[in-house]
Structure 1
């Protein structure tokens, strides 16, 4: 059972994830590994909070908003997921069951709020044109305060007023649902890695990926022929890339020199 003050503190952690990236800069306070630790500290089980945070971090590694694609509110989702799992004495399956829907719903609420702020932006434009800095500052902090209040109220109500409902839902889960959620928990980290790699990887990065993967894969084990061959291939690819770039530069230099001769 989550107490009143625990619900308040958990809601403040969710507010912290809302403000991170907006007024605090990009400090990664919204990441599940951070919120899991903070929630574990509040609920008296830091170890479990860190473990849950790390598991959800793997799951959400690739949850990145690109262009017009809406991402997930992983800050509130990770906070709520860790809180529910610790409070009910369950594991990652409960964190996923509550964290993922909350992250989707909160992202939808955030989108509605951003749309509502479009009217405020018109007033901000007018304040800039009229050089009313005080008014512009007030509009900015008004939006920040509304966003913080929105997150605090929703998460507090869920944590404190919905505690009995959460306990009833978790306690009433049949075995096949728990097994299915455990299966999803095992697959989602793989999906997170795949999404992340599809975003950041291109052909030129593969040698460096291999050089980073091999030491991690052989920690605590002797490096065998497969690992040495992989490192050799990565080094060969890097040398080939460097020489290819040098040839391109040399060709461009010759082309520029030829153009200069024609001009003379």
Structure 2
């Protein structure tokens, strides 16, 4: 019972990312270690959180699309995997269906509750009462955080025994397939992220990083340091330029041309 309540608190805090500003505390790489502490296995919490972070990295809201709920999926997926003594591959398998079910609840918020709250905010804006607009925004976000925190608590209380039975009944051939899928999902997540970010200005740096990693054996930390150095050179910070100033200079050149 105490573990279920603590998991609910983690879910509440993680979902506050939507209410109080984007701090990325909802990501599995953050919630995973916290769940590991609650479940008494910090090491597995860190490992599973890292795997789920890669698996969910491409699940981003674009337009009206509501992605799988990473908070409930990450918390319960990690908790169930640790409680059943399973590996990261089972955590991914459990986390995605749970996240999809939680997305149904999130769709209710996005389709009905938040739009109604938006009409209240419009009314207060017309009255010039900005304090009430803030209360509507934060109140709606905190209410959703309470709901998703409760889902984490109830889900763990109702599902731990059933999930353990299901996991134990999974044939070895399926478990082996899930292990392979666990290696593929992070690659898919990176591919989805790359599709949104890579363009002709940065693809050269992507190629350089690939060569350094695959053919020269440079560790990830070394590539990250080189990436930071390249970003500093590209933005002209060593010359005292700021990105805003550089944009003005570039715009001036276009006008003169």
Separation in 1, partners of 2:210, 2:174: 35
1:87: Cα distance to partner? 0.8
Q: How does 1:46-65 map to 2 (within 5 A)?
A: 46-65=42-61
The residue that corresponds to 1:228 in the other structure is none
Separation in 1, partners of 2:29, 2:67: 18
Separation in 2, partners of 1:132, 1:207: 50
The residue that corresponds to 1:85 in the other structure is 81
Range with greater deviation from structure 2 (142-151 or 41-50): 142-151
Q: Which runs of 5 or more residues in structure 2 are unaligned?
A: 220-233, 235-249
SS of residue paired to 1:204: coil
Q: Highest Rg: 1 or 2?
A: 1
The residue that corresponds to 1:115 in the other structure is 111
1:67: Cα distance to partner? 2.1
Q: 1:174 aligns with which of 158, 171, 174?
A: 171
Separation in 1, partners of 2:65, 2:138: 27
The residue that corresponds to 2:247 in the other structure is none
Q: Is the 8 A contact 1:55 1:92 kept in 2?
A: yes
The residue that corresponds to 2:151 in the other structure is 154
Paired residues in the alignment total 225
Summarize deviations over 1:2-56 as a string: whole Å, max 9, x none: xx11111111111122111431x22211111111111111111111111111111
Distance verdict in 2 for CA 1:144–1:63, change over 3 Å: closer
Q: Which runs of 5 or more residues in structure 1 are unaligned?
A: 222-237, 239-248, 258-264
SS of residue paired to 1:166: helix
Q: 1:28 aligns with which of 10, 24, 32?
A: 24
The residue that corresponds to 2:94 in the other structure is 98
Instruction: State the TM-score, normalizing by the size of structure 2.
Output: 0.78
The residue that corresponds to 2:13 in the other structure is 16
Summarize deviations over 1:51-105 as a string: whole Å, max 9, x none: 1111112222222222233322222211111111111100122212210011112
Q: Is the 8 A contact 1:17 1:76 kept in 2?
A: no
Separation in 2, partners of 1:64, 1:119: 24
The residue that corresponds to 1:184 in the other structure is 181
Instruction: State the TM-score, normalizing by the size of structure 1.
Output: 0.76
